[in-house]
Copies of this chain bind each other. A is one copy, B any other.
Amino acid sequence: MERPGTFTILARDGHARRGRLLTAHGAVQTPIFMPVGTVGSVKAVCPQDLREVGAQIILGNTYHLYLRPGDELVARRGGLHRFMRWDGPILTDSGGFQVFSLSDLRRLGEEGVEFRSHLDGSRHLFTPEKVVSIQRNLGSDVMMVLDECPPGGSDHDYAAASLGLTTRWARRCREAYPAGSGDQLLFGIVQGGIFEDLREESLAQLRDIGFEGYALGGLSVGEAKEDMYRIMAHMGPRLPEDRPRYLMGVGTPMDILTGIEHGIDMFDCVLPTRNARNGTLYTSLGKVNIKRAEFREDDAPLDPACSCYTCRTFSRAYLRHLYMAKEILSFRLNTIHNLRYFLDLAAGARTAIEAGTYQAFKARVAAVYPE
């Protein structure tokens, strides 16, 4: 019987890969987009909705869940899957990104990172061992190592020093959870900013340690898009061939398709869910803002090419009305649609890779989503 962590490449088209990752909660068909369920709920939708839009694996945020309701409470409830009633695979981040972006950062040192909660100002310490322990309590299928996330404009010296710390933290995470010690997988995170040499150095150090998967971190954090694409193009194909590759926190439809082109398998981003709540919707005809006056009396479905509950059921005029009236239902219907768009995008990529038509597929989407 195959063990969790088994990764099989089923087809290739250039660098793009069509794969299958086995987890303790089932297989994930890649390339895949992972909806973000920050605090134990993908905002505005329920597990049934997630299944219906085609979600295979969702993301939970370690930082948020640690603070509220607390990882130990979740462990006593039988883990995150049972707590939130999602029985498919879950990936949890390490909390590092939120500590650097959300909390009141107090002290970054060799031991770990001390911060104050954005909720109540309480003081906490994340060490590599601690974030593994939290993710063990949450029981996610894929755990991430603690990493430092240098800001997008960091120079070579800063990025180099940061990378060293990230590697030492990654080793401590691995030591806290040696390969094969359970059904959860542990992924390493390649840092190094926008510098090819540092990215390669980071990857080499992580490969020495050995992980069940490898992520590109620290992208889409304020750097220029051409820098991000340059690093994706350089590093994508260099990431270990036989392991799943994950581009963290990215991005737009074109970012995702570019990542897939360079051999990335997994993506997550708050874009579809957050934009849904702002009324910005992704359709096969391009991005639209539902509040625009042109939709006032438009009886057509939001996206005639989409088969989600929202598009099957409601008109643009009704969706606009719900948004303008600030009705709660607006959040859910918009989120259902946007998630379906991103999941259909990944499904389309899988089909195209199998058919050897990935470039044509990407070009068709690029005609509508130039960036």
Contacts and interface: CB of A to CB of B under 8 A. Distances in A.
A8 to B, nearest CB: 33
Contacts of A297: 73, 76-77
B46 A333 contact: yes
Interface string A317-329: 1100110110111
Given A44-B329, A297-B73, A317 B68 contact: no
A332 B321 contact: no
Contacts of A69: 296, 317, 321, 324-325
Interface in A67-97: 68-69, 73, 76-77, 83-85
Contacts of A48: 309
Contacts of A77: 297, 299, 315, 317-318
Contacts of A246: none
Given A73-B297, A315-B77, A328 B328 contact: yes
A158 interface: no
Contact of A68 (B40, B321, B329): B321
Contacts of A220: none
Interface residues of A, number: 36
B41 A329 contact: yes
Nearest to A329: B41
Contacts of A125: none
A181 interface: no
Contacts of A47: 313
A68 B328 contact: no
B41 A327 contact: yes
A24 interface: no
A234 interface: no
A43 interface: yes
A44 B328 contact: yes
Given A46-B332, A77-B315, A85-B313, 4 more contacts: A41-B322, A48-B309, A77-B297, A85-B314
Kindly list the 3 A-B residue pairs having the minimum CB-CB distance in the complex, ordered from nearest.
A44-B328, A69-B321, A39-B325
B46 A318 contact: no
A331 interface: yes
Nearest to A336: B46
A209 interface: no
A329 B46 contact: yes
11 contacts: A43-B328, A45-B329, A46-B329, A46-B333, A69-B296, A69-B317, A76-B297, A77-B315, A83-B315, A84-B318, A328-B331
A39 B327 contact: yes
Contact of A321 (B40, B322, B324, B329): B40
Contacts of A321: 39-40, 68-69, 83
Interface string A31-54: 000000001110111111000000
Contacts of A318: 40, 77, 83-85
A41, A321, A332 — which one has the most chain B CB atoms within 10 A of its CB?
A321
A337 to B, nearest CB: 13
A306 B179 CA distance: 45
Contacts of A315: 77, 83
Contacts of A43: 327-329
Interface in A261-313: 296-297, 299, 309, 313
Contact of A332 (B299, B324, B332): B332
Nearest to A318: B83
